[in-house]
Amino acid sequence: MLPKVSINKNGDGAGCATPKDPTIILVDVDDVASEPTRTVGNTVVEGDLTLKEKATAIGVYATPDTIDTGYDSEGETDAKGFKQKVGFDHPGDSVDINNLAEGGANKGFIILVKECEGKTKIFGSRCNPLYMTSTPTNNKEANKRHFDFAQSMVGKYVPGFYEGPEPALAAASAGNTETE
């Protein structure tokens, strides 16, 4: 349903880039006990993202100015939809980041991205998760890994605004050392 409201300018600077919290929260869909619900035309999700007992989400540091979120609109008449996406760079070449790239390559994720102004956006769902691709760079200009997460299927929702509690994050590894 299309909400019938006029949309005014949001205010001075509304088009400026939105600073984001550098911790991207990845939730393996296999760990989800319940998730928020959506209705077309209301981008505020209803309900909380809860994990199964003893499950945790993964917090990944992202270089703040590389965080890129959004969606692509595609499809034929009467079948238009959206593919949600999140991209970012992670500096360095640690064992842990390589383990995430390898172990998460075929996993589906729900992702939370927090904005520094207090909003949190939720990307993906259990039935239409985001899937990861990663590209390492280690040359004279940078030692980093770029991650792209995107839905493989078009869905009827753009990323939503999440107002519930964040899931518990896994503890940082004691062995988060750089490879040589």
pLDDT digits (tens, 9 = 90+) for 56-113: 999 999 999 999 999 999 999 989 999 999 999 999 999 999 999 999 999 999 999 9
pLDDT digits (tens, 9 = 90+) for 136-178: 999 999 999 999 999 999 999 999 999 999 999 999 887 655 5
What are the C-alpha distances in Å from 126 to residues 107, 122, 129, 135, 149? 11, 12, 6, 25, 14
DSSP for 27-61 reads EEGGGEEE--EEETTEEEEES--EE-TT--BEEEE
Residue 13's pLDDT is what?
A: 77
Q: What is the largest CA-CA distance in the chain?
A: 58
- List the structure tokens of 93: 């070449």
* 16 confidence band (pLDDT: 50, 70, 90): confident
CA–CA dist 153, 157 (Å, integer): 11
Residue 176's pLDDT is what?
A: 58
